[in-house]
Structure 1
Amino acid sequence: MYFAAPIVYGVLRRHPRHRKGCAVVGFVILLAGLIGASFAETVPQLLATQGVLYAIGGSIHYFPAFLYLDEWFIQRRGLAYGIVWAGTGTSGIAIPLTMEWILANWGFRTALRTWAVITVVLTTPALMFLKGRLPDRHASLGPQRLDMAFLRSPTFWVLQAGNVIQCLGYFMPTLYMPSFAVAQGWSSLSGTVAVSLCNGANVVGATLTGWLVDRYHVTTAINFCAVGTVLAVFLFWSFAVYQPVLYTFAVLYGLFAGGFSATWSGCAKPLRQRYPAVETGMVISLFSAGKGLGSVISGPLSGALVKSDSWKNHADFAYGSGYGSLILFSGITASFASIGWFGKKCGIV
């Protein structure tokens, strides 16, 4: 889904008249993937529907919104994008608890179909309100050129490097919170509650970071997220041998790590100093692809870290839970997001 972002944005930027239709088509494909997955009988069928079809539909449906945001918001663009990213946290507050309850009582088929119905009910009205700021005639002038000269800038690659490395460990805490809770001797529900708390804090974190991006240099906002995330991991997850400590970590991680995506809109500002034609939406799409690269690598990497953890039952606090290597890796990769700050000090960013 993340990898398709630059392609979807680039095509629709050249053919803006098709952006709303594209969002609708993507929505239909997304629903087909969900419903199809509920009828899957084999693993390949599940991968083809929920893994591939759902991802393709989600990309085509989701990323056209960036073109609308670029038109509507100029002065407070960072805050606007922050609120958009906060939307993912909003949905993640109740969904983990609801889905666990449905899965436990009715199974994955009912869970997928229920989510498809909820998606239709919530998303269909929103599609009706999709409207560009510019008159339709400006979106109908034919293919428009997209300037990608900023890809030659070291500024972009320094910021992207920090983004990719940070994303290597970004998904691990929320992915392993439920199993970490079970390893600590708690119920799986406690892990699900932690994920919900993390998603709820994500709403505040993304919005706050978007606000920071509009008022300060983007590296300041990135450092805010990086320092907070590192402290949350090493001061709270490392010592999460009691449930309240785990919940505290979840809130702090959502607050700080949840803001990383909201910094992407600010990454266009230093690029625009040399390349005035830089479009925020394309920069965000490329950073989304970077996040996708990090997520693809982090999947097998996190499994290998857990499997090879030699600290289990030999280290103190949470490091002896079997997830010590994962905790350490997550904290270290989060610190690398500050590469952009060092780049600013060196005059690169």
Structure 2
Amino acid sequence: METRHSSCSDSLPGSEAQVRLCPEKFDQNSTDEKSLPPVDGGFHAWMFLGACVMLEALIWGFAFAFGVFQKYYHSHEAFQDSSMVAVIGTCATGISYLSCPLVIAAMILLPQMGRWFSSIGLTIMCLSLALGSFSTNVNHLVLSQGVGFGIGGCIAYSPSILYMDEWFVNRRGLAFGITWAGSGVSGLIFPIGLEKLLSQFGFETTLRVISVIMFVLAAPFLYFHRPRLPVSKSISYNRFNFRFLYNKVFLFYQFSNIMEAVGFFLPGIYLPSYARSIGASDFLSSLTVTLLNLASVFGSVAMGHLADRYHAITCITISTLGSTFSLFFLWGFSSTIPTLLVFSVAYGLFAGCYSATWSGITHEVRRVDPTADSTMIFAVIAFGRGIGNVVSGPFSEALFGVSLWKDSEIGGYGTEYGLIILCAGISAFLSGVCIVAHHFKCI
């Protein structure tokens, strides 16, 4: 496996941070590094990471649990005849990803306001959910639970991306891996909790209760969701260098990232219904997603650890091979519940960790273009994942129910989920395009 080595200048988001964190670049006007909290550890660094994990868990855990709401809305008299229900969830996740570069740019242009983005975003999120509880049609839910929550979530979450490089340098990959694991942990809790709240109290009370819970859990951490370095009064316009967008190294990695995202979300959506179609009880069908989320926690932390030590291609290879194999063979040929549960664990372990490779991808892009800003690269990678997320919704709707091998004895391929499984596997396989490009020295 190829090892990777990070330098100070590679790991930091801007020239000011590079000067303050790299001793060899200090000058007389620089802030004394000893007066700042330590990087890669210490109370303040771990509390910042704790804030990142909490926001990750609340924002993405709730967004990814929309399947529970979708099932409820389709059975609710006021919404059951609408074809727009799925759009609510797509807006919540898609907007959170797609608006990331814009929010990061706003934080760079408004450095004095950056400290307050988390608070503003959390307020928008909670208000959007509370207002959504008064919805009388699906359009109201699209605007509140979808668009409003997506915008608020992105604003609240973006400081995690912008300030991570200030708090974690040599352990940046591990820090991001731990952060991504937050959504896996909440992915175990949200579906169960939402199911019970919706069945007992309806969507109105559920949205109000969740909005309060989110605010109460996140608010104590907002104080620590802040930059490590003193805020500069001048705007770092040099960070808006987007020449990397035309760099073939970035283009290969971004194409692979988008391809992975197109199929990544499909198992989480269709696994429970597929499990029921082969005879699983409600508990076992829910267990498929529970195991997937649980495995993604361990996968994300492990991959984050590897991303600090090995080349991005090595990490992506592990994720690509594992997720492709599990989709084509474990889910594709599964006809029993035990096999499907094994797939859930394998897929969560290998596919759930893909985002943890982003720090390695950022390193490789900056290696060929040192003038590129690592935070902007990261934000554009998130934008690419948003493209895949938005495309996967209508794409899967068109595929579901179309069976090329109907009634054949080949597990999942012979069911109405056959094309879903096949295309998810192809998507995972295409996420390895950058591996081939690296092998042939294209990147």
TM range (shorter): over 0.9
Q: Which residue of 1 aligns with 2:238?
A: 145
Q: Which residue of 2 aligns with 1:30?
A: 125
Is 1:10 the counterpart of 2:128? The answer is no
Measure the CA separation in 1 of the matches of 2:117 and 2:346: 37
1:126-141 alignment runs, 5 A limit: 126-136=221-231, 139-141=232-234
Tell me the alpha carbon deviations over residues 100-120 of structure 1, each in whole angstroms, 9 at most, x when there is no partner. 222222222232222212211
Tell me the alpha carbon deviations over residues 10-67 of structure 1, each in whole angstroms, 9 at most, x when there is no partner. 2212332211212211111111111111211101111111111111111111112111
Question: Which structure dedicates a bigger proportion of its chain to helix?
Answer: 1
Is 1:156 the counterpart of 2:250? The answer is yes
Deviates more, 1:68-77 or 1:8-17: 8-17
Measure the CA separation in 2 of the matches of 1:304 and 1:315: 24
Q: Which residue of 2 aligns with 1:331?
A: 425
Instruction: Give me the TM-score of the superposition, normalised by structure 2.
Output: 0.75
Q: Which residue of 2 aligns with 1:91?
A: 186
Amino acid at match of 1:16: P
Q: How many residues align?
A: 347
Measure the CA separation in 2 of the matches of 1:199 and 1:140: 42
Equivalent residue in structure 2 for 1:213, among 307, 312, 318: 307
Deviation at 1:315, TM superposition (A): 4.2
Amino acid at match of 1:72: W
Equivalent residue in structure 1 for 2:327, among 209, 213, 233: 233
Tell me the secondary structure at the aligned position of residue 107 of structure 1. helix
Aligned 8 A contact 1:180 1:321 in 2? no
Deviation at 1:5, TM superposition (A): 0.5
Measure the CA separation in 2 of the matches of 1:262 and 1:281: 15
Measure the CA separation in 2 of the matches of 1:5 and 1:39: 28
Residues 142 and 282 (structure 1 numbering): CA distance in 2 closer, same or farther, change over 3 Å?
Answer: closer
Measure the CA separation in 2 of the matches of 1:240 and 1:120: 42
Tell me the alpha carbon deviations over residues 78-112 of structure 1, each in whole angstroms, 9 at most, x when there is no partner. 11111111111111112112212222222222322
Amino acid at match of 1:255: L
Tell me the alpha carbon deviations over residues 171-224 of structure 1, each in whole angstroms, 9 at most, x when there is no partner. 100011121122223233322221111111111111111111111110110011
Deviates more, 1:58-67 or 1:178-187: 178-187
Measure the CA separation in 2 of the matches of 1:310 and 1:109: 42
Tell me the alpha carbon deviations over residues 251-281 of structure 1, each in whole angstroms, 9 at most, x when there is no partner. 1111100111111111111222222133332
Q: Which residue of 2 aligns with 1:21?
A: 116
Which contiguous aligned blocks of 4+ residues in structure 1 show a shift greater than 3 angstroms?
A: none
Deviation at 1:73, TM superposition (A): 1.2
Structure 1: runs of 5+ lacking an equivalent? none
Q: Which residue of 1 aligns with 2:144?
A: 49
Provide the identity percentage: 37
Is 1:298 the counterpart of 2:386? The answer is no
Measure the CA separation in 2 of the matches of 1:189 and 1:163: 33
Tell me the secondary structure at the aligned position of residue 405 of structure 2. coil
Measure the CA separation in 2 of the matches of 1:259 and 1:280: 20
Amino acid at match of 1:253: Y
Q: Which residue of 2 aligns with 1:309?
A: 403
Is 1:121 the counterpart of 2:247? The answer is no
Measure the CA separation in 2 of the matches of 1:110 and 1:315: 46
Tell me the secondary structure at the aligned position of residue 239 of structure 1. coil
Amino acid at match of 2:172: R
Measure the CA separation in 2 of the matches of 1:201 and 1:109: 32
Aligned 8 A contact 2:118 2:225 in 1? no
Q: Which residue of 1 aligns with 2:47?
A: none
Q: Which residue of 1 aligns with 2:17?
A: none
Deviation at 1:344, TM superposition (A): 1.2
Amino acid at match of 2:111: P
Deviates more, 1:8-17 or 1:263-272: 8-17
Amino acid at match of 2:98: F
1:152-191 alignment runs, 5 A limit: 152-191=246-285
Equivalent residue in structure 2 for 1:223, among 317, 329, 335: 317
Amino acid at match of 1:214: D
Measure the CA separation in 2 of the matches of 1:57 and 1:247: 35
Measure the CA separation in 2 of the matches of 1:187 and 1:72: 46
Residues 271 and 143 (structure 1 numbering): CA distance in 2 closer, same or farther, change over 3 Å?
Answer: closer
Deviates more, 1:315-324 or 1:39-48: 315-324
Q: Which residue of 2 aligns with 1:262?
A: 356
Aligned 8 A contact 1:265 1:283 in 2? no
Aligned 8 A contact 1:309 1:323 in 2? yes
Aligned 8 A contact 1:183 1:321 in 2? no
Which structure has the bigger radius of gyration? 2
Q: Which residue of 2 aligns with 1:197?
A: 291
Deviation at 1:143, TM superposition (A): 4.8
Is 1:273 the counterpart of 2:367? The answer is yes
Amino acid at match of 2:255: A
Measure the CA separation in 1 of the matches of 2:283 and 2:211: 24
Q: Which residue of 1 aligns with 2:437?
A: 343
1:66-85 alignment runs, 5 A limit: 66-85=161-180
